[in-house]
């Protein structure tokens, strides 16, 4: 993932993650120590069975060093299947829907991305294995373009559920 994002060299990037484990103070100390801009937004002010509100961070990654430092310290959240997304545009918003969840009627937050501006979103796969690319950017409008945008050191084995075998170049 680093190689792909660094190869695109499309800074600043925006990392979004939710504070499911209530480690807000630890994250704030890391960002302040390294002079990394961030904001915290409250998703749920009151949660049953939790003393703290559910919040999410938006972290502005201005360069490759900030990208590597912050992702190195926080990627475990993506491995835990917590909301963890990187975008080249600050475009995450939450809406709330009422629906049945685990047998109860609840208000649930739904992350949505404003697609007004061309953007590329990167999300870790389940348990942090691989990553998903979602984009409305014309440079990523076909599978061939996505593959061409990958740096040489990235080896592609599988796309969706299909094994990938590159065509021989003549």
In a domain, 97, yes or no: yes
Mean pLDDT of all residues in the chain?
Answer: 84
If 0-12 CB within 10 Å is exposed, 13-18 middle and 19+ buried, where does residue 6 land? middle
Rounded CA-CA distance 50/53 in Å is 7
In a domain, 25, yes or no: yes
In a domain, 168, yes or no: no
> Is the whole-model pTM more than 0.85?
no
In a domain, 38, yes or no: yes
Look at the chain and report how many structural domains it folds into.
1
In a domain, 72, yes or no: yes
Residue 8 confidence class, pLDDT cut points 50, 70, 90: confident
In a domain, 83, yes or no: yes
Of the two residues 97 and 64, the one the predictor is more confident about is 64
In a domain, 169, yes or no: no
Provide the domain limits for residue 13. 2-163
């Amino acid at each position: 993932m680093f190689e792909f994002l660094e190869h695109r060299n499309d800074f600043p990037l925006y990392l979004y993650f939710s504070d499911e484990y209530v480690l807000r103070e630890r994250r704030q100390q890391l960002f302040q120590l390294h002079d990394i801009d961030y904001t915290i937004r409250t998703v749920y002010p009151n949660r049953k069975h939790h003393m703290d509100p559910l919040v999410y961070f938006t972290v502005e990654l201005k360069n490759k060093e900030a990208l590597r430092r912050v992702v190195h310290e926080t990627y475990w959240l993506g491995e835990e299947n917590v909301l963890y997304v990187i975008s080249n545009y600050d475009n995450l918003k939450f809406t709330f829907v009422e629906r049945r969840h685990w047998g109860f009627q609840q208000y649930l937050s739904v992350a949505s991305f404003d697609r007004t501006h061309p953007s590329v979103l990167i999300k870790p796969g389940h348990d942090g294995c691989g990553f998903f690319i979602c984009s409305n950017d014309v440079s990523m409008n076909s599978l061939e373009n996505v593959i061409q945008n990958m740096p040489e050191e990235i080896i592609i084995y599988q796309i969706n559920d299909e094994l990938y075998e590159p065509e021989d170049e003549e």
